């Protein structure tokens, strides 16, 4: 029994060491991507900066595209966790909508350099990786839509929102926000993305109507 326990402990330590190395390589690669740019960073530079041999790097990741793909998945998973946490802490459906948008704006603002790689160079990533990337991102996008649709449905049930189709409204709201974030990421605009929150919320909840249309009842 003692030998079995020792064996299991040794396996556990090796697994922890492997996970640590994998994550360390990802952290180093992300830092280099932000500092030098995606295409200016090589696998050799990632190996040198992480102080691992090339064989170790390739044991974990077959290519630089795979490293970026892994980082992208982990960031999107983190964003979904942050959104779910924000919803749990909010009280009303309206507060939950605000929390979802606020979390997204802050997240992309803090990771602008990283997501600019995807926004500007997605078509240049290897075809097989791009296809895998698209499928997995779409599944996560659909999960995010479902979360938003549930909040909208809750707001309709409580009489806080109009009786619009929840899924369609989720698509419209999410699409608008994603388009705004995408354009901001690609631009050289220095304004904080989070500063756009009041305008977004005002548009979502009050629309384009000006005072003239409101007076005329349109």
Say what the pLDDT of residue 124 is: 59
For residues 141 and 70, membership in a common domain is answered with yes
Residue 2 sits in which domain range?
Answer: 1-61
Please calculate the CA angle 66-107-94 and round it to the nearest 5 degrees: 130
Residues 42, 147 within the same domain: no
Instruction: Check the CA dihedral 125-101-105-89 and report its sign.
Output: negative
One domain, residues 135 and 96: yes
Residue 10, pLDDT score: 55
Q: 140 and 122 in one domain?
A: yes
Last residue of a domain, one of 33, 61, 89: 61
Tell which of 61, 86, 112 closes a domain.
61
110 and 46 in a single domain? The answer is no
Cα(67)–Cα(131) distance, integer angstroms: 15
Same domain, 70 and 49: no
pLDDT at 172: 94
Q: Based on the fold, state whether residues 153 and 189 are members of the same structural domain.
A: yes
Q: What angle do CA 74, 143, 118 make, to 5 degrees?
A: 45
**Domain count for the chain:** 2
The mean pLDDT value of the chain amounts to: 85
In the predicted model, residues of the chain with pLDDT beneath 50 are 213
Examine the domain organization and report whether 43 and 69 are in the same domain. no
Angle at 37 between CA 34 and CA 41, to 5 degrees: 105
Distance (Å, whole) CA 33 – CA 36 = 6
Helices marked H in the chain: 2-36, 43-50, 54-60, 64-89, 93-110, 112-121, 127-157, 166-186, 197-206, 211-216
Task: Write phi, then psi, for 131 (nearest 5 degrees).
Answer: -65, -45
Q: Hey, CA dihedral for 9, 13, 16, 18, is it positive or negative?
A: negative
Check whether residue 101 and residue 33 sit in a common domain: no
**What tens digit of pLDDT does each residue of 83-94 get?**
999 999 999 999
Q: Are residues 94 and 29 in the same domain?
A: no
Tell me the CATH number at 103: 1.10.357.10
Q: What is the pLDDT of residue 150?
A: 96
In this structure, are 39 and 74 located in the same domain?
no
Q: Which of 61, 86, 111 is the last residue of a domain?
A: 61
pLDDT at 84: 95
Residues with Cβ within 8 Å of residue 116, at least 6 apart in sequence: 185, 186
The predicted pLDDT at position 9 comes to 56
**In terms of domains, do 148 and 207 share one?**
yes
CATH number where 42 lies: 1.10.10.60
């Amino acid at each position: 029994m003692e030998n079995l326990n020792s064996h299991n402990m040794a396996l556990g330590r090796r697994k922890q060491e492997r996970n640590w190395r994998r994550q360390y390589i990802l952290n180093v690669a992300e830092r280099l991507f932000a500092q030098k740019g995606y295409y200016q960073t090589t696998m050799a530079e990632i190996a040198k900066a992480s102080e691992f041999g090339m064989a170790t790097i390739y044991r974990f990741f077959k290519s630089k595209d795979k490293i970026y793909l892994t980082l992208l998945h982990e960031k999107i998973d983190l964003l979904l966790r942050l959104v779910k946490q924000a919803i749990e802490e909010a009280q009303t459906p309206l507060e939950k909508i605000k929390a979802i948008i606020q979390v997204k704006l802050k997240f992309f603002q803090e990771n602008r350099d990283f997501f600019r790689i995807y926004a500007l160079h997605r078509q240049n990533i290897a075809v097989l990786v791009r296809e895998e990337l698209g499928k997995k991102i779409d599944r996560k996008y659909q999960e995010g839509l479902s979360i938003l649709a549930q909040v909208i449905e809750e707001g309709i049930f409580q009489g806080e929102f109009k009786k619009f189709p929840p899924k369609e409204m989720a698509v419209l709201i999410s699409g608008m926000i994603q388009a705004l974030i995408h354009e901001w990421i690609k631009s050289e605009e220095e304004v904080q993305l989070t500063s756009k929150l009041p305008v977004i919320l005002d548009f979502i909840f009050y629309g384009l109507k000006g005072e003239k249309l409101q007076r005329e009842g349109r």
